[in-house]
Chain A
């Protein structure tokens, strides 16, 4: 039992992202309201961003802004261990852009659907569609 517990504690970032992801997925699948679904989708995407960023993190490390460079004798040598991995954060900048675009687009569609059907509840929409 303590093994599992320590596993969870040691890798809590993964568990966190998995939980977030499941919440998002639940929202997308189980919720009836389109806006709630869209929010679920956003949580889902955020979970992955969290995962990536946490992958790049190192204990006792700082942000990778280099104050000075190597000199010829390696006196002020830079140790990779001192800095967190910037690449994952960089990648996530792109992913955030994608998720924002998707989110905005989905909201715009929701507005469009509301204008057309005066509802955002999926079951009502389905009823309206089958009537037509």
Chain B
């Protein structure tokens, strides 16, 4: 079947429409429809991946219009990986979040599932499209839906966090749009591959330079690269748990993907590293991002907020790797898109389970959790180890490539930042473990070491959280395979 590429995006979109329709008819049906849409999308994603591995990149002309006039979907290995990642994470989270949605936003489940699917449609579209303007529209779809979801969260803080996110999100997207405008002025085309050919040889052009700076700046704002990260922690902390579990792993990672796509496919290595010589400056910025993210995470008292600052830190990893200007660094950055998405997903799944049972996740609320929720904590520990970078979890292997890349470039400050941030993460998580392990939950049983009643999250949540955490180890073991079959062929 040739229409798998379209199906990836269209299936969740149609599902969203029907799920929205059923809000008025029978709200209970919204959930299975949404789930089916994502399942189809995930299946198509896997099919596309198989095709791409077997026979190279796929070009799919939307509605039969040939590029550069029509919108083109161009799927290579990188796309395919991100597509499967997005569809997979969204699908699994939808299974795991059913109970948590019922608990947190019981009055609006139907609308939640509708908007959720629209959000995923946006992300999938961003990852698949080969058209610069289409990319903008899809980024905005993603952003608009995530604004809405975030406002559904914390009754007091949610709306304000969401509004601040809107302001910064609009600035970011507008910068990107402006950049695309300049590119269009210069080339008269919006197709990525076409633009790449047309701007070749015009290294000195100030129009291209303006376009480049505006595009990258816009994307950096959207991905919350330090110091443009201020919107992220509040927005992700106060959103409904079910939604932060999907937005935290995916949103920033997809934006990193967009950055890499712009760097590799549109502007090209040569322009960025040989003409502009931006590598050093950006790697320094990334170093700062890594350190600042880690240090700010140390100051947090709320587990969810702490994790959001770790995201800021991890963004620094990927930006640093991508701008290292060598293959090892880029490999590390791309591998880290996959790994970090899984790690963050696993962490937020575990946090979601905790919220389901104990509602508030200030670090002091977590006392005695190892006894109370052993399975959830097991998943949490694995994910945390992966963030710290303990082998054989996948976090170690992307760090390996990033450090190697930095060594090859001689950027030892970045190596130091990576090592220090690993240590900071170790401190962070063991601080949490300590509280969970040492302090018993109920004060009246202070000195009795008898077995605590196990009150873990519902089975559906535990299974998904356990699966994802185990996948960290599996991905770690197979990272050699992933690099050899996906990343290296992509980078040639």
Report if A112-B159 is in contact (Cβ < 8 Å); known contacts: A45-B174, A101-B144, A105-B144: yes
Which A92-122 residues sit within 8 Å CB-CB of chain B?
A: 94-95, 98, 101-102, 105-106, 109-110, 112-113, 116
B156 CB, nearest partner CB in chain A, Å: 7
Most buried by B among A88, A98, A113: A98
**B147 and chain A: residue at smallest CB distance:** A105
Stretch from A1-9, A48-56, A63-71 at the B interface: A48-56
In the complex, the answer to whether A109 meets B162 with C-beta atoms within 8 Å is yes
> With a CB–CB cut-off of 8 A, which chain B residues contact A37?
167
Which of A98, A113, A129 meets B163, CB within 8 Å?
Answer: A113
**B166 and chain A: residue at smallest CB distance:** A106
> With a CB–CB cut-off of 8 A, which chain B residues contact A48?
174, 177-178, 181
A55–B187 Cα distance when bound, in Å, is 12
A interface: dominant SS: helix
Interface membership of B212, Cβ < 8 A = no
Interface membership of B247, Cβ < 8 A = no
In the complex, the answer to whether B170 meets A44 with C-beta atoms within 8 Å is yes
A38 CB, nearest partner CB in chain B, Å: 8
A95–B141 Cα distance when bound, in Å, is 11
In the complex, the answer to whether A41 meets B167 with C-beta atoms within 8 Å is yes
In the complex, the answer to whether A28 meets B160 with C-beta atoms within 8 Å is no
Interface membership of A84, Cβ < 8 A = no
Q: How large is the interface on B (under 10, 10 to 19, 20 to 34, 35 or more residues)?
A: 20 to 34
A55–B186 Cα distance when bound, in Å, is 11
In the complex, the answer to whether B159 meets A113 with C-beta atoms within 8 Å is yes
Which of A41, A109, A125 meets B170, CB within 8 Å?
Answer: A41
> With a CB–CB cut-off of 8 A, which chain B residues contact A19?
none
**A98 and chain B: residue at smallest CB distance:** B140
**B175 and chain A: residue at smallest CB distance:** A48
Interface membership of A22, Cβ < 8 A = no
Q: How large is the interface on A (under 10, 10 to 19, 20 to 34, 35 or more residues)?
A: 20 to 34
> With a CB–CB cut-off of 8 A, which chain A residues contact B162?
109
Which A1-52 residues sit within 8 Å CB-CB of chain B?
A: 25, 28, 34, 37, 41, 44-45, 48, 51-52
Report if A109-B178 is in contact (Cβ < 8 Å); known contacts: A28-B171, A55-B185, A98-B140: no
In the complex, the answer to whether B137 meets A109 with C-beta atoms within 8 Å is no
In the complex, the answer to whether A51 meets B178 with C-beta atoms within 8 Å is yes
A7 CB, nearest partner CB in chain B, Å: 13
In the complex, the answer to whether B163 meets A34 with C-beta atoms within 8 Å is yes
Interface membership of A132, Cβ < 8 A = yes
In the complex, the answer to whether A109 meets B163 with C-beta atoms within 8 Å is yes
In the complex, the answer to whether B167 meets A129 with C-beta atoms within 8 Å is no
Interface membership of A91, Cβ < 8 A = yes
> With a CB–CB cut-off of 8 A, which chain A residues contact B171?
25, 28, 44
**A111 and chain B: residue at smallest CB distance:** B159
A28–B181 Cα distance when bound, in Å, is 22
Interface membership of B28, Cβ < 8 A = no
In the complex, the answer to whether A88 meets B177 with C-beta atoms within 8 Å is no
Most buried by B among A25, A44, A95: A95
A101–B137 Cα distance when bound, in Å, is 12
Which B101-148 residues sit within 8 Å CB-CB of chain A?
A: 133, 136-137, 140, 144, 147-148
In the complex, the answer to whether A132 meets B181 with C-beta atoms within 8 Å is no
In the complex, the answer to whether A129 meets B166 with C-beta atoms within 8 Å is no
Contact flags B228-255 to A (C-beta < 8 A → 1, else 0): 0000000000000000000000000000
A25–B157 Cα distance when bound, in Å, is 24
Interface membership of B155, Cβ < 8 A = yes
Report if A109-B151 is in contact (Cβ < 8 Å); known contacts: A129-B157, A132-B156: yes
In the complex, the answer to whether B174 meets A52 with C-beta atoms within 8 Å is no
> With a CB–CB cut-off of 8 A, which chain A residues contact B133?
91, 94
**B139 and chain A: residue at smallest CB distance:** A98
A37–B171 Cα distance when bound, in Å, is 12
Most buried by A among B140, B155, B170: B170
In the complex, the answer to whether B156 meets A52 with C-beta atoms within 8 Å is no
A109–B153 Cα distance when bound, in Å, is 13
In the complex, the answer to whether A44 meets B157 with C-beta atoms within 8 Å is no
A102–B151 Cα distance when bound, in Å, is 14
> With a CB–CB cut-off of 8 A, which chain B residues contact A106?
163, 166
In the complex, the answer to whether B159 meets A45 with C-beta atoms within 8 Å is no
In the complex, the answer to whether B181 meets A55 with C-beta atoms within 8 Å is yes
In the complex, the answer to whether A102 meets B144 with C-beta atoms within 8 Å is yes
Which of B160, B170, B184 meets A88, CB within 8 Å?
Answer: B184
A116–B166 Cα distance when bound, in Å, is 19
In the complex, the answer to whether A55 meets B184 with C-beta atoms within 8 Å is yes
In the complex, the answer to whether A52 meets B167 with C-beta atoms within 8 Å is no
A52–B182 Cα distance when bound, in Å, is 9
Most buried by A among B133, B136, B159, B185: B159
A33 CB, nearest partner CB in chain B, Å: 12
Which of B140, B160, B170, B181 meets A113, CB within 8 Å?
Answer: B160
Which A66-92 residues sit within 8 Å CB-CB of chain B?
A: 88, 91
**A28 and chain B: residue at smallest CB distance:** B167
28 contacts between A and B (CB under 8 A): A28-B167, A28-B171, A37-B167, A44-B171, A45-B170, A51-B178, A55-B185, A94-B133, A94-B137, A95-B136, A95-B177, A98-B137, A98-B140, A98-B144, A102-B140, A105-B166, A106-B163, A106-B166, A109-B166, A110-B163, A113-B160, A113-B163, A116-B155, A116-B156, A116-B159, A129-B156, A129-B157, A132-B156
Taking A28-B167, A98-B137, A105-B166 as known contacts, 8 extra A-B pairs with beta carbons closer than 8 A to each other, sorted by chain A number, are A34-B163, A55-B184, A55-B185, A102-B166, A106-B166, A109-B147, A116-B159, A125-B160
